[in-house]
Structure 1
Amino acid sequence: MMSKKHNFVRVRFAPSPTGPLHLGGIRTALYNYLFAKKYGGSFVLRIEDTDRKRFVPNSESYIMETLKWCQIEPDEGAGYGGIHLPYHQSQRGNIYRLYISKLLEKGHAYYAFDTDKELYIKRKEYQNRGFTFSYNASIRMDMNNSLTMTKKKLYTKLNSGSSYVIRFKIPPGEKLKMEDMIRGNIVVNTDSLDDKILLKSNGIATYHLANTIDDYLMKITHVIRGEEWLPSMSLHLLLYRAFGWNPPIFAHLPLILREDGKGKLSKRNVDNFLDFPIFPLQWKVPETNTIIPGYRELGYFPEAFVNMLALLGWNPGIPGEIFSLQELINLFSLKKITKSGVYFNIKKANWFNKQYLKEKKGEIFSYLSIELQKRSISYEIDDLYKIIHLTIDRLHFVHEIWEHSFYFFISPSSYESSLFNQICHQNIIDQLEDCKKSLSNISQFTSVNLRLLFHKYNKKNRYKMMQIFRLALVGSLKGTDLFMILEILGKEKSIQRIDKLMKKIREKI
């Protein structure tokens, strides 16, 4: 796992502030964090904000709040400080210009003065011939760049203020051997690569240049990032070689796919956020002020969210699926990450939350207490804990407790019509009157004694009377154990609700 040339692990999470993080982004941060912590290394947060056109306000604070909520905060970086300041790429322009001058001096980069019009004409020319235009070794000597002009002409061009970009000079005819910790050995023919722009015409470094220089200067040992950056790996390795630097170890993570087979999970899925929630925290769309809830607002626990996310593409290699953050750190291995895309399943995400919910009875108690106070309903603390114990297996989220327990506190105002219409007969009233007398005569109003009471009916009538009792107590055929409902309600309230149902039946007949 560890390279001989790296005796201290340093990884980075380098998001762009172009909107909220989605599942793929926060999973990348999580894997970086787990890897760093496993080897006693450092987790660095760098903000890659060179593309100011795509900058979205509040993105950076969203990133930081997400990392904090997931309890995977960086050891250094933007908002955390460190010895490699600044951690915003927009503030590192002078550093990039210094290093690009070295590439120009060594002949690994060149000035390109091609105008948009000239490039358009070339593309059109190639398209008409049935080819795809690529600014590479086969075309560069026919273009308007410093490789095709004398030094004198170049100085004249530069001094005249002509617009230019700086491109990387890809060495042709080479089979570049690369190694990825997840995908193994990869070979790329450099003839298939184009001379990427390193410095844009506005003087701002592109991602490729800034990323490579920053990773080197910040002593990053392992670059763990999404699969979408795999095609850029060859350029980045060539840049390292051009600078004369040892490259970091690369690991490219698999995509997270939609379960419905409609491609990868991305920010375009926000319209179906309840079926495919993709943001860890709530996001307010700046243009429309639309609120898109995140996992936090939908009621997921951060521990459950992180546990679920960790297993989206990684297998610990041992039985079980519930792991604490420390257990994830101890078990984590890049070699156990899958190469192929992984399907996101919202039902599985809910299952994870349910497992953690079992340890959150205090939070459920607080939530239920507040709901009762809102409605000015008095309650016994012991009864609340009994109710939580009875209903917790039905819950996935804390906020679901009310819909699964309201009938313990509120008498039904209406009854499920399908059953109610079937029981509107005098003989049902007679049976209920008989049951009422039996209930009144029970000295110890416990679920055990109540269960014995119903055993006097034959099996068929017992089932029917239990249904009618449930209708009287709950208003429908939903709810937890009938005899526990009776016990918690108590004799007086239970009989009151039976009387209420009898009254409704009499009104009907």
Structure 2
Amino acid sequence: MTETTAATDGTRTTTPGTEVVTRFAPSPTGFLHIGGARTALFNWLYARHHGGRFLLRIEDTDRARSTQPAIDAILTSLRWLGLDWDGDEVYQSARADRHAEVAHRMVEHGHAYRCYLTTEELAAMRAEAEAAKKPLRVRSPWRDKAAEADDSRPFVVRLKAPTDGAVTIEDRVQGSVTVQNAELDDLVLLRSDGTPTYMLAVVVDDHDMGVTHVIRGDDHLNNAFRQLPIIRAMDAIEGGWPDPVYAHIPLIHGSDGAKLSKRHGAVGVEYYRDELGMLPEALDNYLLRLGWGHGDDEIISRTQAVEWFDLAGVGKSPSRFDFKKLENLNGQYIRVADDERLATLVADRLDFVPTDEQRELLGRSMASLKPRAADLLDLANGAAFLFRKRPLEMDRDATALVSGEAPKLLARLHAALDALESWDTESLETAVRQVADDAGVKLGQVAQPLRAALTGRKTSPGIFDVLELLGREESLGRIADQMIV
């Protein structure tokens, strides 16, 4: 395939057939939030769609805020979502010497310079800009001074940004975007302590990792115009530094259109897994549809996503996070999920370690439980009746259902069920219906107290499924606990 980006100095085209390489580059200062997960997903899908590589870079240059628990959370969340990366993850902090090397090369060739502006001078420039109600754009007087290096004075290394003309990016999502070079400033590449800035490190790492496509949030669009002069400078110095293909994705908003916050769902991916009981394929599917579409398709498998995904399907407008839609989608995935897999996931949520026999029972119960469940929490809550100890503790609604004349009905049910030769749903249903007919009441008037006696609750899976799952001995014992003979 051939990829192209356009700029005022001419269109640059990579060699036809160049392998697509994307990357996800989170900062490990907290959890992997929903917006970051979607960015990772889009990068992963684009690479897989084109038979390319998806790389992971941990941007941990902020040593004060970067933590190992945050790194672990990011890696765990990506793996849970099924977003595997090619090769080992790259840690940006380990590459500081390489970043500095590039900056010094730029100084040697006149594309960057040592700036000796003092803190006081910068403060004065900032105050002047504020007084004029203009943004601060540093054009240091040192950019054109042929001063000899003076290591006795503190300095930063600044980019010698172009001042004339404009730069146009043909963004794969935003379209043609132009910024006048006069709007850019001489950004800092190396701080006074010699450490690289984010802008420099990102450019160098993307180049060294062979990244061909930069797919990220549109809050980084302005960064692209600040980073391109670094790329162009290094290409002029040594060649082989092509512009990447840019695709800046609109951010995710809350359902009310406001910036996504914790009240909308801007929490870590682990929260959706652990606290909300979501399946990874459901969250993947939902994130995919946040800002990308393929006709009217809503349920999209991973195989279909890889086959269909391309940047042309990404919209320009911010997408809205709707928890109810996510919950509904997760319920649909629950209903088609493998019963044994669901049983394993539910077993991890029980307040005890189930035996092999209990795990087998969980597996058999999933077919009855999952049609009513929106998430794994619902499944675990629904399965709880299977393992309750006798006599069951009744909730308020269940207590009402086994009072009055109900115990007498339960005694009839006990006798009818105890007489059954076969304990299967068909035989159970026939027996319960016969009790209702003999008592001259509707089936529900028998089924409700029976459900309460068996589960301690007003709601449960189908009553005949409950009887079969509990088995003869346990069912009859629970009924006996609530009846009057």
TM-score bucket (shorter structure): 0.7 to 0.9
Q: Which moved more, 1:207-216 or 1:244-253?
A: 207-216
In the TM superposition, what whole-angstrom CA distance separates every residue of 1:28-84 from its partner, at most 9, and x where no partner exists?
Answer: 222222212222222222333333343323444443333333332222343xxxxxx
Structure 1 residues 161, 54: closer, same or farther in 2, change over 3 A?
farther
Q: Which residue of 2 aligns with 1:321?
A: 299
- In the alignment, does 2:232 pair up with 1:253? no
Structure 1 residues 229, 429: closer, same or farther in 2, change over 3 A?
closer
- In the alignment, does 2:62 pair up with 1:51? yes
- In the alignment, does 2:120 pair up with 1:117? yes
Q: Which residue of 2 aligns with 1:5?
A: 14
Deviation at 1:496, TM superposition (A): 4.1
Structure 1 residues 91, 499: closer, same or farther in 2, change over 3 A?
closer
Q: Distance in 1 between matches of 2:32 and 2:166?
A: 36
Give the counterpart of 2:176 among 142, 160, 185. Answer: 185
What residue identity is the alignment partner of 1:479?
A: S
Give the counterpart of 1:354 among 319, 322, 331. Answer: 331
Contact preservation (8 Å) 2:220, 2:248: yes
Q: Which residue of 2 aligns with 1:18?
A: 29
Q: Distance in 2 between matches of 1:428 and 1:58?
A: 55
Q: Which residue of 1 aligns with 2:6?
A: none
Q: Summarize the alignment of residues 70-219 of structure 1 with structure 2, pairs less than 5 Å apart.
A: 70-78=81-89, 87-127=90-130, 129-136=131-138, 140=139, 144-147=141-144, 149=145, 151=146, 154-155=147-148, 158-159=149-150, 161-219=152-210
Structure 2 gaps, min length 5? 4-12
- In the alignment, does 2:313 pair up with 1:336? yes
Structure 1 residues 298, 134: closer, same or farther in 2, change over 3 A?
same
Structure 1 residues 463, 230: closer, same or farther in 2, change over 3 A?
same
Q: Normalising to structure 1: TM-score of the pair?
A: 0.78
Deviation at 1:403, TM superposition (A): 2.3
Q: Which residue of 2 aligns with 1:285?
A: none
Residue 93 of structure 2: SS of its match in structure 1? helix
Structure 1 residues 412, 331: closer, same or farther in 2, change over 3 A?
farther
Q: Summarize the alignment of residues 269-308 of structure 1 with structure 2, pairs less than 5 Å apart.
A: 269=262, 276=265, 278-281=267-270, 293=271, 295=273, 298-308=276-286
Deviation at 1:250, TM superposition (A): 0.5
Contact preservation (8 Å) 1:412, 1:475: no
What residue identity is the alignment partner of 1:338?
A: G
- In the alignment, does 2:381 pair up with 1:403? yes
Deviation at 1:374, TM superposition (A): 4.6
Q: Normalising to structure 2: TM-score of the pair?
A: 0.82
Identity of aligned residues (%): 29
Structure 1 gaps, min length 5? 79-86, 282-292
Q: Which residue of 2 aligns with 1:450?
A: 431
Q: Distance in 1 between matches of 2:58 and 2:398?
A: 61
Q: Distance in 1 between matches of 2:75 and 2:478?
A: 52
Deviation at 1:368, TM superposition (A): 6.6
What residue identity is the alignment partner of 2:459?
A: K
Contact preservation (8 Å) 2:27, 2:59: yes
Deviation at 1:328, TM superposition (A): 1.9
Q: Distance in 1 between matches of 2:255 and 2:422?
A: 53
Give the counterpart of 2:460 among 461, 479, 497. Answer: 479
Residue 51 of structure 2: SS of its match in structure 1? coil
Q: Distance in 2 between matches of 1:277 and 1:234?
A: 28
Give the counterpart of 1:413 among 372, 392, 406. Answer: 392
Structure 1 residues 135, 322: closer, same or farther in 2, change over 3 A?
closer
Contact preservation (8 Å) 2:28, 2:60: yes
Contact preservation (8 Å) 1:254, 1:342: yes
Q: Which residue of 2 aligns with 1:470?
A: 451
RMSD: 3.5
